[in-house]
Chain A
Amino acid sequence: MSDPLVRLENVRFAYGERTILRDISLSIPRGKVVAIMGGSGCGKTTLLRLIGGQEKAVGGQVRVDGQDVATLGRDALYAMRRRMGMLFQFGALFTDMTVFDNVAFPLREHTELPAELINDLVLMKLHAVGLRGAARLMPGELSGGMARRVALARTIALDPMLLMYDEPFTGLDPISLGVIGQLIRRLNDALGASSVIVTHDIQESLQIVDYIYFISEGRVVAEGTPDEIRHTTDPFVHQFVHAEVDGPVPFHYPSDDYAAALTGGKA
């Protein structure tokens, strides 16, 4: 196989003083769907922002299609992002535009296509997510699951080579959740793209992805194919799969000594 589409090598990242990612190495092979799992606040969104070039790694390298993202100038970065699609956690639809105009937005911004062609393309994308009938609605009129599907249609408007999903399953009912999961898999294969899903929904991920990475405390702590993950004895993965409260992932946010804090020590 050719080299992977995305490769992170020993990536380190911090917001100011606070180190979020310590040492992450992973790769997303072409044509595959990869899940990155970890608890809330472990830096999953940050990881996607590093791949998209919205943040720059403090150490290590993020390579997308052979290019080191950190070294790209603004124009090269924008050229690269045109071939990427990112589905934001809450959809991030433009609230002042209709569903149709939202999906048409990337096409109108980046192509010189005539209006009839854009019309056809938008309807095709909306049809792919099953919402052609909602084209004239405003984002405020959509349910959470519908909004996410519209955002998905907008994400694939320019047929990207890399699709990034930030917690696509959060806050959905079981049916919408299954629908989104199937769409992610289908679109990846139909577009010949590669996908990365950032999530903490292990059951859904096990069904649709090709490979899974687990992140904790800024490091990759486990990885494997869904089959390997199901049968692993790794304590971290075990805690995750069985939703245990305490284990390798601590219940407490890092803090001072509890007793000292209660007896009037510096909080």
Chain B
Amino acid sequence: MGGLRKLGSVAIEVVWQLGFIARFFWLILVYSGQSFTRLNLTIRELYFSGVLSLLIILVSGLFVGLVLGLQGYEILQRYGSSDSMGTMVALSLLRELGPVVAGLLFASRAGSAVTAEIGLMKVTEQLKAMDMMAVSPIARVVAPRFWGGVISMPLLAAMFSTMGIFGGWLIGVVFIGIDDGAFWSQMQAAVDFRYDVLNGVIKSCAFGVAVSLIAVFQGYDCVPTAEGVSRAITRTVVSSALAILALDFVMTSFMFRGL
């Protein structure tokens, strides 16, 4: 009986939370006018979320590409088709690894920072003070951070994939000695712009919206204490990761059915 009641209250809690997020999302969209008419606010956040995440994205992309190169060669040569390594590396990055791994990195690097910043502004009453000064914190603080993340995410995923492909090329062509021409021409022949590249971009945009929304919401909604902020940061990273992986599964099942 107690267990059932607990389950029920958790379910109600989750539904409430989703309702709050949906309403919050709507408010962000309503108040977004300012983020675009006063572009410098959003550009600042683009710098903090995007530019400052660049290093970790590029380095991680390179390593993922290097590993893909090693594993890909090892598997493909069993079937005597090591020339298709470029194709394999490019497709795995563009369709899956680019958006997903970049999204996970983005959530832990930029998402957590956004949650911490907004949460601390709440703790120190900066949001209330802003509201008392007749300036909407959603318009001034939340919306620019949201859009900064939404715009950064696909660009970071694209750079991740680019670095990954470069890493695969380093292993395949430079170290192992696959034919340079075969590497690129097979890739070019096999990768379809709409089917592979565009779908990957759509994924990374969706992840950008999900991570940014979760990050600003958790910050804005946190319990205004030190402990509350630290919990909110954890929740941002955990729920972003879950959201990315779940969304990825759903979108993959619609996009790539291998028909």
| B77 interface hit (Cβ, 8 Å) | no
Question: Which residues of A from 64 to 103 have beta carbons under 8 Å from B?
Answer: 78-79, 81-82, 84, 86, 88-90, 92-95
Q: Tell me, rounded to whole Å, the shortest Cβ–Cβ distance linking B12 to chain A.
A: 17
Report whether B129 and A54 are in contact in the complex, using a CB–CB cutoff of 8 Å.
Answer: no
Of B124, B131, B135, B136, the residue contacting A95 (CB under 8 A) is B124
Report whether B129 and A86 are in contact in the complex, using a CB–CB cutoff of 8 Å.
Answer: yes
Q: Tell me, rounded to whole Å, the shortest Cβ–Cβ distance linking A219 to chain B.
A: 26
Q: Tell me, rounded to whole Å, the shortest Cβ–Cβ distance linking B48 to chain A.
A: 10
Of A78, A82, A92, A110, the residue contacting B129 (CB under 8 A) is A92
| B128 interface hit (Cβ, 8 Å) | yes
CB neighbours (8 Å) of A84 from chain B are: 132
| B125 interface hit (Cβ, 8 Å) | yes
| B126 interface hit (Cβ, 8 Å) | yes
Report whether B128 and A109 are in contact in the complex, using a CB–CB cutoff of 8 Å.
Answer: no
CA of A89 to CA of B131, assembled, Å: 15
CB neighbours (8 Å) of A38 from chain B are: none
Report whether A81 and B124 are in contact in the complex, using a CB–CB cutoff of 8 Å.
Answer: no
Report whether A88 and B133 are in contact in the complex, using a CB–CB cutoff of 8 Å.
Answer: no
Which residue from chain A places its CB closest to the CB of B135 in the assembled complex? A109
Of B121, B125, B140, the residue contacting A90 (CB under 8 A) is B125
CB neighbours (8 Å) of A110 from chain B are: 134-135
Q: Tell me, rounded to whole Å, the shortest Cβ–Cβ distance linking B183 to chain A.
A: 47
Of A92, A105, A109, the residue contacting B125 (CB under 8 A) is A92
Report whether B125 and A86 are in contact in the complex, using a CB–CB cutoff of 8 Å.
Answer: no
> How many pairs, one residue from A and one from B, have CB atoms within 8 Å of each other in the complex?
45
Which residue from chain A places its CB closest to the CB of B125 in the assembled complex? A92
Q: Tell me, rounded to whole Å, the shortest Cβ–Cβ distance linking A148 to chain B.
A: 13
B interface residue count range (under 10 / 10 to 19 / 20 to 34 / 35 or more)? 10 to 19
Report whether B134 and A92 are in contact in the complex, using a CB–CB cutoff of 8 Å.
Answer: no
Question: Which residues of A from 35 to 76 have beta carbons under 8 Å from B?
Answer: 52, 54
CA of A211 to CA of B234, assembled, Å: 49
CA of A88 to CA of B129, assembled, Å: 7
Interface centre among A52, A54, A92, A105 (most CB of B within 10 A): A92
Task: Please give the number of chain A residues whose Cβ is less than 8 angstroms from any Cβ of chain B in the complex.
Answer: 19
Which residue from chain B places its CB closest to the CB of A81 in the assembled complex? B134
Report whether A109 and B133 are in contact in the complex, using a CB–CB cutoff of 8 Å.
Answer: yes
Report whether B135 and A88 are in contact in the complex, using a CB–CB cutoff of 8 Å.
Answer: no
CA of A105 to CA of B130, assembled, Å: 9
Which residue from chain A places its CB closest to the CB of B139 in the assembled complex? A109
| A106 interface hit (Cβ, 8 Å) | yes
CB neighbours (8 Å) of B134 from chain A are: 78-79, 81-82, 109-110
Report whether B131 and A92 are in contact in the complex, using a CB–CB cutoff of 8 Å.
Answer: no
Which residue from chain B places its CB closest to the CB of A105 in the assembled complex? B133
Report whether A92 and B126 are in contact in the complex, using a CB–CB cutoff of 8 Å.
Answer: yes
CA of A92 to CA of B129, assembled, Å: 6
Interface centre among B124, B125, B132 (most CB of A within 10 A): B132
Report whether B125 and A88 are in contact in the complex, using a CB–CB cutoff of 8 Å.
Answer: yes
Q: Tell me, rounded to whole Å, the shortest Cβ–Cβ distance linking B75 to chain A.
A: 49
Q: Tell me, rounded to whole Å, the shortest Cβ–Cβ distance linking B181 to chain A.
A: 52
Q: Tell me, rounded to whole Å, the shortest Cβ–Cβ distance linking B31 to chain A.
A: 11
CA of A79 to CA of B133, assembled, Å: 10
Which residue from chain A places its CB closest to the CB of B132 in the assembled complex? A86
CB neighbours (8 Å) of A90 from chain B are: 124-125
Report whether A106 and B125 are in contact in the complex, using a CB–CB cutoff of 8 Å.
Answer: no
CB neighbours (8 Å) of B126 from chain A are: 92-95
CB neighbours (8 Å) of B140 from chain A are: 109
CA of A84 to CA of B132, assembled, Å: 8
CB neighbours (8 Å) of B130 from chain A are: 94
Which residue from chain A places its CB closest to the CB of B136 in the assembled complex? A78
CB neighbours (8 Å) of A86 from chain B are: 129, 132
CA of A54 to CA of B134, assembled, Å: 11
Chain A 93-136: CB-based contact to B (< 8 A → 1; otherwise 0): 11100000000011001100000000000000000000000000
CA of A106 to CA of B124, assembled, Å: 18
Listed in ascending order, the chain A residues whose CB lies under 8 Å from chain B are 52, 54, 78-79, 81-82, 84, 86, 88-90, 92-95, 105-106, 109-110
Listed in ascending order, the chain B residues whose CB lies under 8 Å from chain A are 120-121, 124-126, 128-136, 140
Given contacts A78-B136, A81-B134, 7 further A-B contacts (CB under 8 A): A81-B131, A86-B132, A88-B128, A88-B129, A90-B125, A93-B126, A95-B124
12 A-B contacts (beta carbon < 8 Å): A54-B131, A78-B136, A79-B134, A81-B132, A82-B133, A90-B124, A92-B125, A94-B126, A95-B126, A105-B133, A109-B134, A110-B134
